[in-house]
């Protein structure tokens, strides 16, 4: 069998259906638009995510007899209030604690160096002075690079102040119209697609529920984990509670990896504040219990409707889509992996495969 016949057989098997060709074109154009115009359309994507998040609340009010427009207005007012609280209360607190932590970094570095010196004096056969010097030099280089990145980020943020103001104005307006005219916008998009769209409709309904549930569940998870972390750190008297709680809350965006990364600042601040003591161990135990409850109790409750994915698939999706789209790629890694899984399972495989034909009523 020649390569030409193999390719022809493969094309007949996977692209004999006209709808499969149209779906492939739609996917390619959609991914190309996001890759090429992602930075330009970032306010729209942000508003789209927020609209997905708020649509469930709007639907909840509608089920209780409130008109669509009144539900949208009520939810939008709550959204503006939460946005103002975030901008005027939470972010200044986090910023002040970040500045304090940066100012405290030299003392933390000196304390760590003294602890290493004491460790070397206790165990001279296990840890040599040369090893300590290498560790200190490495930590110094990392701290210098971190400071340079923070300075670069702060200077860049000053230049992007106008962009931030545009976000604060455009995103709420887009969220309002995406909620208000949801049906009209959906009908317009459907009018651009061919009339025969059994496969696309099936995948769309599945992914619409998956993405909406994922966004709402992930937002609730961030809120619950962040508040629980803040309460835990505050109860132990740990400094920089708001900053650490924000780091722990946002760490749930990256499955498996985020929890491990968030452990480093928590352990560093606790070790500097309490020293290597029982209180330090209690903080780490409480943090481990919090992560265990999140992974074994909260996540199954919030994402019980999600399609199960293997941990290796999730990590690969985070690495791949995060490398392409940055933060949004990490945030949507699981829905995008679910989309790929749904496409593989639903993709037509030729008319000779009766098990994959759509039902008569659906066709």
Q: Residues 236, 286: contact at Cβ < 8 Å?
A: yes
Q: Residues 317, 335: contact at Cβ < 8 Å?
A: no
HEC assignment per residue over 281-332: HHHHHHHHHHHHHHHHHHHHHHCCCCCCCCHHHHHHHHHHHHHHHCHHHHHC
φ, ψ (nearest 5 deg) of residue 64: -100, 20
HSE-CB at 33 with a 13 A cutoff on CA atoms is 10
Q: Residues 179, 72: contact at Cβ < 8 Å?
A: yes
pLDDT number for residue 250: 87
Query: How many angstroms separate the CA atoms of 56 and 70, rounded?
Result: 15
pLDDT number for residue 354: 43
DSSP SS3 for 4: helix
The residue to which tokens 């190309």 are assigned: 32
Query: How many angstroms separate the CA atoms of 325 and 316, rounded?
Result: 14
341 membership: H or E segment, kind and range: helix 333-346
pLDDT tens for the chain, 363 residues long, are 566 666 666 666 656 666 667 777 877 887 787 777 767 777 888 888 888 888 888 988 988 888 989 999 999 999 999 888 887 888 888 888 887 877 777 777 767 666 666 666 766 666 666 666 666 666 666 656 655 555 555 444 444 556 667 777 888 999 999 988 888 888 887 777 777 767 777 777 767 767 777 777 888 888 999 999 999 999 998 888 988 999 898 888 877 778 888 888 888 888 888 877 888 899 999 999 998 888 778 877 777 655 566 677 777 887 888 777 777 777 777 777 877 777 776 666 554 444 444 444 443
Query: How many angstroms separate the CA atoms of 64 and 62, rounded?
Result: 5
Q: Residues 223, 53: contact at Cβ < 8 Å?
A: no
- Tell which residue, 91, 107, 82, 111, has the closest CA to residue 243: 91
The residue to which tokens 């209780």 are assigned: 64
Encoded tokens for 19: 């709808």
Query: How many angstroms separate the CA atoms of 252 and 328, rounded?
Result: 14
The set of residues, in sequence order, having a beta carbon less than 8 Å from that of 200 and lying 6+ positions away, is 19, 22, 23, 26, 193
Query: How many angstroms separate the CA atoms of 121 and 132, rounded?
Result: 11
pLDDT number for residue 160: 56
Query: How many angstroms separate the CA atoms of 363 and 357, rounded?
Result: 9
Q: How many Cβ atoms from other residues are within 10 Å of residue 137's Cβ?
A: 10
- Tell which residue, 344, 312, 359, has the closest CA to residue 206: 344
The residue to which tokens 């359309």 are assigned: 41
- Across 99-114, b (16+ Cβ under 10 Å) vs e yields eebeeeeeebeeebee
* Residue 276 zone, left/alpha/beta (φ > 0; ψ -120 to 50; rest): beta
CA distances from 102 to 95, 136, 214 (A): 11, 18, 35
Q: Residues 322, 329: contact at Cβ < 8 Å?
A: yes
């Amino acid at each position: 069998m020649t390569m030409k016949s193999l390719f022809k057989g493969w094309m007949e098997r996977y692209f004999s259906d006209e709808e499969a060709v149209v779906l492939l074109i739609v996917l390619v154009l959609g991914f190309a638009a996001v890759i090429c115009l992602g930075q330009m359309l970032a306010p729209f994507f942000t508003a789209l995510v927020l609209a997905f998040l708020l649509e469930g609340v709007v639907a909840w009010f509608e089920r209780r007899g409130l008109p669509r427009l009144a539900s949208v207005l009520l939810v939008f007012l709550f959204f503006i209030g939460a946005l103002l609280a975030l901008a005027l209360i939470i972010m200044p607190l986090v910023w002040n604690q970040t500045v304090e932590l940066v100012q405290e970094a030299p003392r933390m570095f000196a304390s760590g160096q003294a602890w290493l010196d004491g460790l070397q004096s206790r165990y001279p056969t296990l840890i040599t002075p040369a090893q300590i010097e290498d560790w200190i030099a490495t930590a110094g280089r990392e701290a210098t690079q971190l400071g340079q990145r923070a300075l670069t980020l702060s200077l860049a943020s000053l230049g992007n102040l106008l962009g931030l103001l545009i976000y604060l104005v455009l995103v709420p307006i887009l969220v309002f119209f995406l909620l208000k005219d949801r049906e009209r916008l959906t009908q317009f998009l459907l009018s651009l697609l061919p009339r025969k769209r059994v496969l696309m409709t099936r995948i769309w309904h599945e992914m619409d529920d998956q993405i909406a549930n994922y966004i709402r569940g992930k937002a609730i998870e961030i809120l619950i984990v962040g508040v629980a972390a803040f309460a835990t750190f505050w109860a132990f008297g740990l400094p920089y509670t708001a900053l650490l709680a924000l780091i722990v809350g946002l760490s749930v965006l990256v499955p498996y990896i985020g929890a491990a990364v968030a452990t480093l600042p928590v352990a560093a601040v606790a070790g500097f504040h309490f020293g290597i003591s029982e209180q330090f161990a209690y903080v780490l135990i409480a943090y481990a219990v919090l992560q265990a409850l999140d992974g074994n109790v909260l996540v199954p409750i919030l994402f019980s409707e999600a399609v199960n994915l293997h941990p290796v698939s999730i990590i690969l999706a985070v690495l791949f889509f995060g490398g392409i789209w940055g933060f949004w790629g990490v945030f949507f890694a699981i829905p995008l992996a679910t989309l790929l899984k749904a496409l593989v399972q639903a993709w037509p495989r030729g008319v000779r495969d009766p098990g994959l034909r759509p039902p008569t009523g659906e066709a």
